[in-house]
Chains A and B, each alone.
Chain A
């Protein structure tokens, strides 16, 4: 297999347009999955040589622009991001380990694939995501880590990331560079719920690369709360990205997204609707949290995530309301 380098933005004859080519950025997911024989790219295109704009962090102006090749650790440590977007800084800081955050890029982070054990071990034949139509071993298997929202009868694999929750909550736009130039789409339209085609995870087309994320406005009153089995270096059992605009005790705007519980980055719009225009109290937080999980479906080992997820959302709301800004 050839490893090719990409030093200019994707063009019509970009090596990325080869059949089954995979871009390599930090390599923290791709290399693992290749060793496990889960991903078998025909070609690997090293995108690290792309110019500096691809890794730029630009908090100036009305929008925050984050280059797709920016390292997780650099963004998490950025002063202005910590001040104006605590939900972004914390979602990154609470993810993975220091070593991985130093390698991994934002673009790769949002594209990381599920940690479903049955997906990652090719000796299990039944995985609709890996081998369409083969069934789902997780459905009635060991599924403690699996999703309760956005599932289908084909797949219950959890979207594992943290940062994506912040992006979807804050109405981020994704800038995608492809053979015909740049296109923009709402981050909420990047990932696809499994439905009947769990093998299709995003709306990116062949040859396209995420070049940047653009986040409108500033969200100093925002938190990322993550519940997990150990204190660090562990995926969420349940997490909540919460950003609020509160004036005199009234919630003017609320942005809520859930992690660790859904098949894709998950915006809790029902929760937001219940909160908007209301005076905050603990009862409201509870009702709003309940709404987020109205359609949740638990299975043998993961039903606890529904009750847990509600408590995490309610607590994150309390933290966001009471935080000093």
Chain B
């Protein structure tokens, strides 16, 4: 075992290497824009240079003169598309703003023309020569800009159902012995996945194939079909590998149907590869948020009142919001809780999911405030969490299915060396560097969605697993192979996995960290169907107990460690008895508590996630604790975070190697979010300014010399058959607050606005 492949503890799978490791490191993995097309034309987008107004006209003369230009599509001649509804409103789209429909412009960087040419270079050159006359109006950029409108989220967004509250907050806060009121801000951020927002479309007669990085091939297939007005069965979305998603590819963007429509009209495949900066405006982003937290506590640290008010920016068109009060009002024991979320509309593109959408901004506020409260109480921040730890969430009193928050704090504190911290601010240093230690809790709801799978087994043990899940870099191939191998008792190397294709049985959106729990539960169920058929064939007269059904394996291997090898049945004999060379089973799995229509919705490309705080009689979250060391140069005020330590508990860990990698990436992203990442908005024009990788900073290796991930053993039998809690979005939640808490410790200065930059430090 190595650091990259941690020794599995109880209730953890083996840290087998990634199924797709070799193809990826040898460059043979084919991403969307790598897919070969027959004589494609190339598309390049022209996007608006204003955020609000109208297009007066185009001068296309120069563009049309570029050799190789085939067509220039604008609102004047674009294929007519049907309206697309928002994903939260019965549709598939991440925005209802439909470009190329009229001369109106509603945000910076809206698609206003598509140049089609014989080569990428010609298309780009011609796009540069498109001249646009605008009638520009003054846009509203963000919070505090003139012209924005603000209203409560409840009632306007079907995403946001309730402002959680319990008890009497006003009274509780009034009477509290210790009070804290503080405001926090988080910035606009963009996902910037490595793979650009490419789309290739090829028609074969009435059938359309789309190669596009997507986190939801069924959603995209159905959404594009709806916009084109064709049968969804005629649309196929293929993406065996996705070069990062982080939520940006969870819902449909307008570009896909546009490209499909143009390809149809041109009767030729089209490949679109937008630029990095276009990705900032043709997809979604994490909107800026503002928070006010009020905490009241007794002298001994017990919370008696908590209020969280959040405000989020969205577009004029769509009431997108993340509403993280669902989580922050339930994290700690507290009798009097109040909350309110509102949405501020501006002339912006519609924001959307970005890794832990609600938890990142809302827990930054709460976990910073908890640290501030600990300071007021003169208490160790870890102990403050311990005092307020709870087995039941305070709003509805529902029990957490499992909760290892304090175990995570204790493990991470030990590994980090928290005991060596001298508690007073500005009390630790090393040469030119002030040192600060900080910590914060992290959590993420455990969610599940319906999923279908097909499993095919041959007499030599070769197994094929098919599910329209998604490999967005998380390890989906690997853990699906492990799950099937383990469940069927066949060697891992005999399992072939197919994901990322809407012709496969429907899987859920790769979002909300539900994939592992959902797809593995479905594959386990279908593997059991396969085993049932074989068991029936060899033991037709034997009535098997449930226990036996679960433990008897196939071939050489028993299904579980509990079963002895003698309990494995001989595959050859079983197939002989069946008189067939191959068994194929299909099944649809539905999580407990899923709505009645959820399987129908699954086929129609609507993900119905259940879990987290939304379940009837319980609440399910994964937890963790994160500790960071920051160093602040006393001369330059540069801020670095040389050590990040996180301990996490997330039910069954399917593969400690891929889990560690996900959590490590989360910790690094969390640090990046706290110290580097912000999309700068020009206040006058409501345009994104630093829309490229040179100006939108993400960490380089030199910024992250030390990252340690500790996986805790946790068993939870109340969530899903796989026993797994999603962890893809767990680690980047607490880091923001942990960094600011460490900066306070290093400098005595409380910073409540992200990202923290050297000019914010006064020492």
Contact = CB atoms under 8 A, between A and B. Distances in A.
Interface of A: 35, 37, 97, 115, 117-118, 120-125, 137, 140-142, 144-145, 225, 227-234, 237-238, 304, 308, 311-312, 314-315
A308 B758 contact: yes
A304 B759 CA distance: 6
Contacts of A120: 692
B132 to A, nearest CB: 10
B695 A117 contact: yes
Interface stretch (B182-190, B502-510, B532-540, B699-707): B699-707
Contacts of B680: 142, 144
Contact of A229 (B49, B633, B697): B697
Nearest to B277: A121
B694 A115 contact: yes
Contacts of B637: 227, 308, 311
Given A117-B689, A142-B690, A227-B633, 14 more contacts: A97-B700, A115-B694, A118-B689, A121-B277, A123-B49, A124-B49, A125-B49, A142-B682, A145-B695, A229-B675, A232-B703, A234-B697, A311-B636, A314-B635
Interface in B664-684: 675-676, 680-682, 684
Contacts of A227: 633, 636-638, 758
Contacts of B638: 227-229
Most buried by B among A35, A120, A142: A142
Interface residues of B, number: 33
A233 B697 CA distance: 10
Contacts of A142: 680-682, 689-690
Interface in B634-651: 635-638, 640
A115 B759 CA distance: 20
Contact of B684 (A35, A121, A140, A237): A140
A289 B750 CA distance: 29
B96 to A, nearest CB: 25
B690 A231 contact: no
A124 B50 CA distance: 9
B149 interface: no
Given A141-B689, A229-B757, A231-B703, A315 B697 contact: no
B757 A312 contact: no
B759 A231 contact: no
B759 A308 contact: yes
Nearest to A225: B636
B128 interface: yes
Contacts of B694: 115
A39 B692 CA distance: 18
Contacts of B640: 231
A311 B702 CA distance: 24
Contacts of A37: 128
Interface string B417-435: 0000000000000001000
A278 to B, nearest CB: 21
Most buried by A among B124, B636, B681, B699: B636
A228 B699 CA distance: 12
B82 to A, nearest CB: 30
A232 B757 contact: no
Contacts of B759: 304, 308
Contacts of B128: 37, 122
Interface string B131-171: 00000000000000000000000000000000000000000
Most buried by B among A121, A225, A230, A304: A230
A254 B432 CA distance: 24
B49 A312 contact: no
A229 B699 CA distance: 10
B703 A230 contact: yes
Contact of A230 (B682, B690, B699): B699
Contact of A231 (B49, B684, B702): B702
A111 to B, nearest CB: 18
A286 to B, nearest CB: 12
Contacts of B690: 117, 142
B758 A231 contact: no
Contacts of B699: 230
Contacts of B702: 230-233
B44 to A, nearest CB: 12
A238 B638 CA distance: 11
B635 A230 contact: no
A120 B700 CA distance: 23
Contacts of B676: 229-230
5 contacts: A140-B684, A227-B637, A229-B757, A230-B697, A308-B636
A120 B703 CA distance: 27
A141 B703 contact: no
B54 to A, nearest CB: 17
Contacts of B675: 229
Contacts of A308: 636-637, 758-759
A315 B635 contact: yes
Contacts of A122: 128
Nearest to B124: A35
Nearest to A141: B682
A256 B25 CA distance: 46
